[in-house]
């Protein structure tokens, strides 16, 4: 394996290209269970009829876990939006269609979104009362079992040479409520200072899915609480998330 | 062992629950008197602490108004006590010795009480009192924001209850609430009483334990143009400002008729409410709901405080902030439940629009909860509103916060602080929750017998030559003007009806005769006759002939009186003639019915039965109802003397099977037994004579009377499977009805005569299988001898065989020229139809289809 061509570097993982393979290498302190689970989730989603990069190998390189995926040629929606600012909304609309197609899929053995959120809420640093409210709020939300990507962004959708789309990064896939999945995507737009795109995205989803905006917004507290686990070192983001989280159910 | 009432960790929870359970087991033994004493002491203690607890609740939760919470606590103690003080909740609570039904109330066990933060102390008092009155234990799962005041309320009620004699440990409460502990409590309780948001209610229903859960309300108040504006506006204000709007039944919007809209606005302003302008409205809108959820900071706050948070300046004693809005969609923040003195104001042009808006608000935010309307003297619109709302409480001209909880503005709505929202709200009850929801009620039902009856025509005239005397009544007693005679062609053409016609002529009564009746009369024939009747308009119908003429005349009578009747409905099989789904129409409004039999067998002159065949489908409609009883039967042998031998035999043996089946029927009574026995005895004796010597008047008369007696017996005691099976056998192979019965009766007697049938018939009066005993009684009455019931039954069988022999009835179905192949081809259909025949229900032994099949096969081969 060659590791000279870095595609992306994250806090705790690095992604390399190796010919027609793409290697996701995890830092040593990364949870082994999470890595194996990501490979397993990916394998499950490969079976339900969505074009995604196939897992080719899970291996250990120099004491670090790595997953080898199939390398996908093409530009992401994020690239295309950058290159053609005038078409931004068109790509956002297409992204909503793709996301709604994913929501139509079923994959019974995926982790339940509710269980994942319950676990995440327990891990947060909010006070006892806030966690109580969040749990109560989560328990009151409608229970669905749609496939939810869990972290979909324009950079996760590649337009392949044949014009078809390939969807990347299935580490966070669960089954659950589509509005929760959309709330997560919307939140990341907001956190990345892309409010305008986020608004257009949310508006488009609500229109196409005939869903009141408030149904999506009700999930913001939950997904914000979950996101707070990743924002521990980012004071500004933490404060922003806390504001969203601090609502109460009566 | 030291008691630990306040649970501070999940590890201690199991022990605490066990402790409550032990106490409850003791409490379950308490008498009503002991319980009522405890209930009173507990209510008094809660009432004494109403101010302390109200202060604690406001201080701890930072929401609401002390003075209003005092009222809630006061209400929870006093109104609940008053409503249930005299209600029986222990042991026998109802006892109806006449009908033999008793209701016994038992506690459910340990109740998990989930307490909300909006009404913590009053809800705790309410649930505690209900639990004490019903001998249940209770564990409180408070909201963390209201844990101290909930625990305080629980302890006050607990201390008073124990002092008054309740077992120690009957209550417990969670001191450090968490969802995991609430879940654990719910999973281990016997009943959950959950009040709170959808999360809590959902958790309650998914715990796997019976739950009464209540959710959010979103009450619309419709202002009809007819209202007293001052009253309506002030009512909404008192309700909406109560405890700063935290009651779930509080109004969230007013939907006002455009005609009175401005006046209503003025009235709100006059009474201290603030109508927000467009800019202020937008600010408040974005303050009350954040990210699709209610903003915690505004719940239970005063109007001025909410305005301040929104950056709007209003007078500091403003009562309600009112936003004039148009949309009832979820996107409109004002359309949500606001739990604060913030109100949406909508305008409507016509009442249909008001209903649509209210319906949408309820469905989106408070499905199943409460709807409110103000309306005067317009019942039509009120009815439209009542019918349209998917709300379990609809309060009229009433402040809904106070109206929904009951007993304040209407004194028949049960007082409660837990308001069921029905299936619409995902709840198991749609009522205001009270003691009955916390009790298991056992019904002790003692065996009782049905009321029975004996019904016959009003008059039965009999004796040779009685016809003319009897007919004189048509003029003398009934003053009839027009008589419609129904008979068959043979009787008509051979002048048998002449006597009747002459009598009528002599009295100056107009008459006409319909004689186109064939054996097994058809619907077509009946329709034709009914048409003639409709044209002639008789006030009396005379049926003259055998079973066919009488049955056809009965059907014509039905069609004449009720031309649009549906035979499918009338012929529907019933289990109990008094409980049939389609009641039979009333007869006799147009004409009376007189039956004159010319054969001795059918009994139709005294029975409530008639059979008609739909010639297009071949389906037979057996009609049965006492409405079909003739008014008068005239039994005169002058018209029977010429009966041919075959008819004498077939109809005579039919009468025998009528009386035999009526005697062993489950519905047989003292009233039918006597006449059935007399009929049987006379048939055995006189049928062979009448058969051999048709001119023997005594034999003819005894047979005529036996036939009518048998008719009365089975008109009231009904028949059995011999007739069920004969109906189908006769129809399948065109055997005369009497012959079919004669063939089957011996095998049916053998089938019934057992003390150990596979299945006994079901009828309250029928205590054990006693057909053998009954057949033996018949044999004894006839004088056949025999040492025990089995032998007597055997003698009866032999006697029947002997009679059949004497009157020329063959021994088997095969003997009537029916090939085995033909028979087998029809067998399964016959079995199924015979099983489903109306006569099957009264048979003393409930037959299995394979058993009926066996009987048919035995009778085939003989």
Say whether B299 and A246 touch across the interface (CB within 8 A).
no
With CB atoms and an 8 Å threshold, state whether A132 touches B178.
Answer: yes
What pLDDT score was predicted for residue B428? Answer: 87
Taking alpha carbons only, the member of B738, B761, B572 closest to residue B658 is B738
Predicted complex ipTM exceeds 0.85 = no
Query: In Å, how far is A244's CA from the nearest CA of chain B?
Result: 8
**Tens of pLDDT along B389-407?**
999 999 999 999 999 999 9
Superfamily of domain A5-70: Phosphorylase Kinase; domain 1 (3.30.200.20)
Mean pLDDT of all residues in B333-349: 95
Q: List the single range of B223-232, B556-565, B618-627, B719-728 with lowest mean pLDDT.
A: B618-627
Mean pLDDT of A187-202: 95
Range B518-529 average pLDDT: 91
Domains by residue range for chain B, with CATH: 6-214 (3.40.605.10), 219-402 (3.40.309.10), 454-640 (3.40.50.1970), 644-862 (1.20.1090.10)
Backbone angles phi, psi at B709, to 5 degrees: -60, -45
**Is B671 a residue whose pLDDT tops 80?**
yes
Which residues of B lie inside 8 Å of A (Cβ-Cβ)? 116-118, 143-145, 177-179, 196-203, 216, 246, 289-296, 299, 329-331, 339
Residues of B in contact with A218 (CB under 8 A): 291-293
| Reported confidence tier of residue A1, pLDDT bands at 50, 70, 90 | low
For position B3, what pLDDT does the model report?
Answer: 81
Q: In angstroms, rounded to a whole number, what is the distance separating the alpha carbons of residues B615 and B621?
A: 11
Q: For all residues of chain B together, what is the average pLDDT?
A: 95
- From the list B134, B43, B116, the residue with the least C-alpha distance to B80 is B43
Angle (deg, nearest 10), helices B721-733 and B737-752: 140
| Chain B residue with minimum CA distance to A217 | B291
- Are B178 and A139 an interchain contact pair (Cβ–Cβ within 8 Å)? no
pLDDT at B611 over 90: no
> Considering the entire predicted model, what is its pTM?
0.84
Band of the pLDDT at B216, cuts 50, 70, 90? confident
Average the pLDDT over A9-17 and give the result.
Answer: 89
pLDDT band per the 50, 70, 90 thresholds, residue A249: low
Cβ neighbours of residue A84 closer than 8 Å, sequence gap 6 or more: none
Q: Report yes or no: A114 at the B interface, CB cutoff 8 Å.
A: no
How much of chain A is in helix, strand and coil states, percent to nearest 5? 50, 20, 35
Average pLDDT in the A27-49 region? 94
Distance CA B188, CA B207 (A): 9
Quote the minimal CA–CA distance from A113 to chain B in Å: 16
* Of B80 and A142, the one with more pLDDT: B80
Residue A250 touches partner B, C-beta closer than 8 Å: yes
Residues of B serving a catalytic function are 248
Of A23 and B364, which is predicted with more confidence? A23
Q: Give the distance between the most distant pair of CA atoms in chain B.
A: 116
Portion 197-226 of A in contact with B at CB < 8 A: 212-218, 220-221
Query: Looking at the predicted structure, is the pLDDT value of residue B613 above 90?
Result: no
d(CA A135, CA B506): 97
User: What local confidence, expressed as pLDDT, does residue B567 receive?
Assistant: 76
A-chain residues near B196 (CB < 8 A)? 136, 250
Q: How far is B55 from chain A, CA to nearest CA, in Å?
A: 20
DSSP-based three-state secondary structure for B450: coil
Burial zone of B168 (CB within 10 Å; 0-12 exposed, 13-18 middle, 19+ buried): middle
Q: How confident is the model at residue A214 (pLDDT cuts 50, 70, 90)?
A: confident
Q: What is the pLDDT of residues B804-843, one digit of tens each?
A: 999 999 999 999 999 999 999 999 999 999 999 999 999 9
**Cβ neighbours of B246 in A, within 8 Å:** 250
- Give contacts of B143 with chain A, Cβ < 8 Å: 132
- Cross-strand partners of B345: B254, B324
Tens digit of pLDDT for each residue in B127-143? 999 999 999 999 999 99
Contacts of B819 by beta carbon, 8 Å cutoff, 6+ apart: none
Mean pLDDT of the B522-528 span: 93
Q: What letter does residue B522 receive in the DSSP assignment? A: B
Q: What percent of chain B has pLDDT over 90?
A: 88
Give B-chain residues touching A250 at CB under 8 angstroms: 116-118, 196-197, 216, 246, 294, 299, 339
* Identical topology for domains A5-70 and A75-245: no
CATH number of A75-245: 3.90.1200.10
> What radius of gyration, in Å, describes the C-alpha atoms of chain A?
18
Interface A-B, measured as beta-carbon pairs within 8 A, has a size of 82
> pLDDT tier at B214 (50, 70, 90 boundaries)?
confident
Q: What is the mean pLDDT of residues B26-33?
A: 98
* Nearest alpha-carbon partner for A140 in A119, A114, A116, A120: A114
Tell whether A186 is within 8 A of chain B (Cβ): no
SS3 assignment, position A147: strand
| Contact call for residues B549 and B488 (beta carbons, < 8 A) | yes
Task: With beta carbons less than 8 A apart as the criterion, state whether A32 and A126 touch.
Answer: no
Q: In this predicted structure, what is the pLDDT of residue B203?
A: 81
Query: Span B301-325, mean pLDDT?
Result: 97
């Amino acid at each position: 394996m060659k590791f000279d061509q870095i595609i992306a570097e994250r806090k705790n993982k690095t992604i390399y290209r190796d010919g027609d393979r793409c290697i996701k290498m995890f830092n040593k302190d990364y949870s082994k269970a999470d890595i194996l689970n990501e490979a397993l989730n990916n394998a499950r989603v490969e079976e339900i009829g969505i074009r995604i990069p196939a897992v080719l190998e899970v291996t250990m390189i120099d004491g670090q876990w790595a997953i080898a995926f199939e390398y996908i040629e093409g530009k992401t929606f994020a690239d295309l939006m950058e290159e053609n600012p005038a078409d931004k909304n068109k790509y956002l609309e297409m992204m909503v269609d793709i996301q709604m197609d994913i929501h139509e899929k079923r994959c019974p053995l995926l982790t339940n979104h509710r269980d994942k959120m319950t676990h995440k809420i327990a891990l947060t640093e909010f006070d006892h009362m806030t966690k109580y409210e969040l749990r109560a709020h989560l328990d009151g939300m409608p229970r669905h079992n749609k496939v939810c990507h869990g972290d979909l962004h324009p950079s996760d959708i590649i337009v392949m040479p044949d014009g078809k789309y390939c969807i990347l990064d299935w580490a966070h896939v669960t089954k659950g409520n589509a509005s929760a999945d959309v709330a997560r995507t919307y939140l990341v737009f907001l956190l990345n200072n892309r409010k305008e795109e986020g608004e257009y995205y949310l508006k488009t989803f609500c229109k196409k899915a005939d869903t009141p905006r408030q149904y999506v917004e009700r999930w913001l507290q939950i997904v914000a609480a979950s996101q707070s686990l990743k924002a521990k070192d980012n004071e500004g983001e933490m404060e922003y998330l806390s504001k969203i989280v601090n609502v109460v159910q009566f | 062992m030291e008691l630990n009432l306040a649970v501070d960790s999940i590890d201690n929870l199991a022990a605490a629950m066990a402790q409550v359970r032990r106490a409850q087991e003791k409490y379950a033994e308490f008498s009503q008197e002991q319980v009522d004493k405890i209930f009173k002491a507990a209510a008094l203690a809660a009432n004494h602490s109403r101010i302390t607890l109200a202060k604690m609740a406001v201080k701890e939760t930072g929401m609401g108004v002390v003075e209003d919470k005092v009222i809630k606590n006061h209400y929870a103690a006093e109104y609940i006590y008053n409503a249930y003080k005299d209600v029986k909740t222990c042991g026998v609570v109802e006892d109806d010795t006449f009908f033999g039904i008793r209701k016994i109330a038992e506690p459910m066990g340990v109740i998990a009480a989930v307490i909300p933060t909006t009404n913590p102390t009053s809800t705790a008092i309410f649930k505690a009192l209900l639990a004490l009155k019903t001998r249940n234990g209770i564990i409180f799962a408070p909201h963390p924001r209201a844990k101290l005041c909930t625990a305080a309320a629980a302890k006050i009620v607990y201390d008073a209850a124990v002092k008054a004699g309740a077992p120690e440990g009957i209550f417990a409460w969670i001191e450090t609430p968490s969802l995991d502990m609430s879940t654990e409590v719910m999973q281990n309780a016997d009943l959950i009483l959950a009040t709170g948001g959808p999360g809590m209610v959902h958790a309650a229903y998914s715990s796997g334990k019976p739950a009464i859960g209540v959710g959010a309300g979103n009450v619309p108040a419709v202002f009809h143009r007819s209202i007293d504006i001052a009253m309506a506006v002030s009512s909404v204000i008192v309700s909406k400002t109560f405890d700063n709007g935290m009651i779930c039944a509080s109004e969230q919007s007013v939907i006002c008729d455009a005609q009175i809209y401005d006046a209503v606005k003025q009235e709100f302003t006059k009474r201290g409410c603030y109508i927000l302008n467009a800019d202020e409205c937008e600010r408040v809108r974005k303050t009350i709901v954040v990210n699709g959820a209610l903003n915690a900071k505004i719940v239970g706050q005063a109007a001025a405080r909410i305005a301040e948070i929104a950056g709007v300046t209003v007078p500091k004693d403003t009562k309600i902030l009112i936003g004039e809005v148009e949309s009832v969609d979820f996107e409109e923040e004002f359309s949500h439940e606001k739990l604060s003195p913030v109100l949406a104001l909508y305008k409507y042009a016509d009442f249909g629009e008001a209903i649509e808006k209210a319906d949408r608000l309820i469905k989106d935010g408070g499905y199943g909860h409460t709807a409110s309307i103000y309306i005067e003297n317009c019942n039509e619109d009120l009815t439209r509103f009542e019918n349209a709302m998917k709300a379990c409480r609809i309060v009229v001209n009433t402040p809904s916060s106070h109206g929904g909880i009951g007993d304040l503005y209407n004194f028949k709505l049960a007082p409660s602080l837990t308001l069921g929202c029905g299936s619409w709200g995902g709840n198991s009850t749609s009522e205001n929750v009270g003691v009955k929801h916390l009790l298991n009620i056992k019904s002790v039902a003692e065996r009782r017998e049905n009321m029975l009856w004996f019904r016959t025509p009003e008059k039965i005239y009999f004796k040779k030559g009685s016809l003319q005397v009897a007919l004189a009544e048509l003029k003398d007693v009934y003053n009839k003007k027009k008589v419609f005679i129904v008979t068959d062609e043979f009787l008509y053409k051979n002048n048998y009806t002449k006597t009747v016609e002459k009598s009528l002529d002599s009295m100056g009564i107009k008459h006409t005769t319909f004689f186109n009746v064939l054996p097994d009369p058809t619907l077509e024939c009946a329709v034709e006759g009914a048409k003639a009747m409709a044209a002639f308009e008789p006030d009396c119908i005379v049926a003259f002939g055998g079973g066919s003429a009488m049955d056809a005349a009965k059907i014509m009578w039905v069609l004449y009186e009720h031309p649009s009747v549906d035979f499918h409905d009338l012929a529907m099989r019933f289990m109990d003639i008094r409980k049939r789904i389609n009641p039979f129409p009333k007869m006799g409004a147009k004409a009376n019915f007189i039956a004159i039999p010319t054969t001795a067998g059918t009994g139709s002159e005294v029975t409530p039965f008639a059979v008609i065949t739909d010639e297009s489908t071949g389906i037979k409609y057996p009609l049965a109802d006492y409405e079909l009883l003739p008014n008068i039967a005239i039994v005169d042998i002058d018209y029977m003397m010429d009966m041919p031998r075959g008819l004498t035999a077939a109809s005579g043996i039919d009468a025998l099977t009528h009386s035999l089946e009526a005697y062993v029927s489950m519905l047989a009574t003292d009233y039918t037994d006597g006449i059935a026995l007399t009929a049987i005895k006379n048939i055995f004796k006189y049928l062979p004579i009448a058969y051999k010597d048709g001119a023997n008047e005594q034999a003819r008369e005894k047979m005529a009377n036996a036939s009518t007696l048998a008719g009365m017996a089975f008109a009231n005691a009904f028949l059995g499977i011999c007739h069920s099976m004969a109906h189908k056998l006769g129809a399948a192979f065109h055997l005369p009805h009497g012959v079919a019965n004669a063939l089957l009766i011996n095998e049916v007697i053998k089938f019934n005569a057992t003390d150990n049938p596979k299945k006994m018939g079901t009828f309250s009066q029928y205590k054990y299988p006693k057909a053998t005993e009954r057949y033996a009684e018949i044999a004894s009455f006839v004088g056949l001898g025999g040492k025990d019931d089995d032998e007597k039954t055997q003698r009866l069988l032999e006697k029947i065989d002997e009679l059949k022999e004497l009157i020329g009835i063959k021994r088997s179905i095969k003997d009537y020229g029916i090939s085995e192949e033909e028979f087998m081809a029809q067998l399964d259909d016959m079995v199924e139809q015979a099983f489903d025949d109306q006569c099957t229900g009264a048979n003393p032994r409930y037959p299995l289809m394979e058993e009926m099949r066996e009987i048919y096969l035995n009778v085939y081969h003989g």
